[in-house]
Structure 1
């Protein structure tokens, strides 16, 4: 939001998903987390990022200046996901699936035709 944290990724995302799990809901303060996942070594990150573990093995990152959530990742898997709302051009986000819809907010209607999984998507 404030621009203090920046990242550059030249690679194509491994996946682009909308996660409805409670951990994501709490971390981003919204009904879901729309994010793009990359190999961690493909993401060049600069700025004052604070991190915290939100669940076993999942680290979340936010701007130390304004508090905006910008990333999450699994260090053991070598992946890092950036929030679609933090993109300079958020319209580039092209989700392919909804995951953890078992935790989806009851008022949210998913009628975009994307596949839905009760928990994680198959590998």
Structure 2
């Protein structure tokens, strides 16, 4: 059954609604995605362009001769990868309002992956609200810790 989901950029300027068929997603490790996001990989949801409704469309950057990348010009959030000759696009999983149900089902661009970043389960973990310095910055700035 198709499911409606929403998402957008960090500042809220660019928003979308999408109908998805499943919660499958993938990680892209290619050098272009690494450079476009500043990360070691990016999580994408592959979807039909026709299933996305933009309340406000993202700006698009011609990142290569074969594709554009959608982003918010105000806050810089990466939102899409869109090949010119495809009816599909990739939406960044992190831009969904609730990305928690997505599951990675494959890797792309494996020639560029950084293996040490693939399994980090043994590393120490800290909740954001347990980081005293960060919490104090928020308290000093707005008097509360954001949701």
**Match of residue 42, structure 2, among 33, 40, 43:** 33
From the two aligned structures, give the one with the greater helix fraction.
Answer: 2
Root mean square deviation of aligned Cα: 2.1
> Match for residue 120 of structure 1?
none
Q: Does residue 75 in structure 1 map to residue 84 in structure 2?
A: yes
**How big is the shift at 1:14?**
9.2
**Match of residue 90, structure 1, among 99, 103, 114:** 99
TM-score with structure 1 length normalisation?
0.81
Following the alignment from structure 1 to structure 2, what is the Cα–Cα distance between the partners of residues 42 and 54?
23
Following the alignment from structure 2 to structure 1, what is the Cα–Cα distance between the partners of residues 22 and 99?
14
Does the CA contact (< 8 Å) of 2:23 and 2:102 recur in 1? no
TM-score with structure 2 length normalisation?
0.68
**Match of residue 99, structure 1, among 105, 108, 116:** 108
Q: Does residue 51 in structure 1 map to residue 60 in structure 2?
A: yes
**How big is the shift at 1:25?**
0.7
Higher alpha-carbon deviation: 43-52 or 86-95 = 43-52
Runs of 4+ in structure 1 over 4 Å off:
none
Q: Does residue 63 in structure 1 map to residue 72 in structure 2?
A: yes
Structure 2 residue runs without a partner (length 5+)? 1-9, 122-147
Structure 1 residue runs without a partner (length 5+)? 113-123
> Greater Rg, structure 1 or structure 2?
2
Q: How many residues are aligned here?
A: 112
Question: How big is each residue's C-alpha offset from its partner over 1:58-92, in whole Å with a ceiling of 9 and x where there is no partner?
Answer: 21010121111111111311111110111100112
Following the alignment from structure 2 to structure 1, what is the Cα–Cα distance between the partners of residues 26 and 118?
16
Question: How big is each residue's C-alpha offset from its partner over 1:16-38, in whole Å with a ceiling of 9 and x where there is no partner?
Answer: 21000000111111110101010
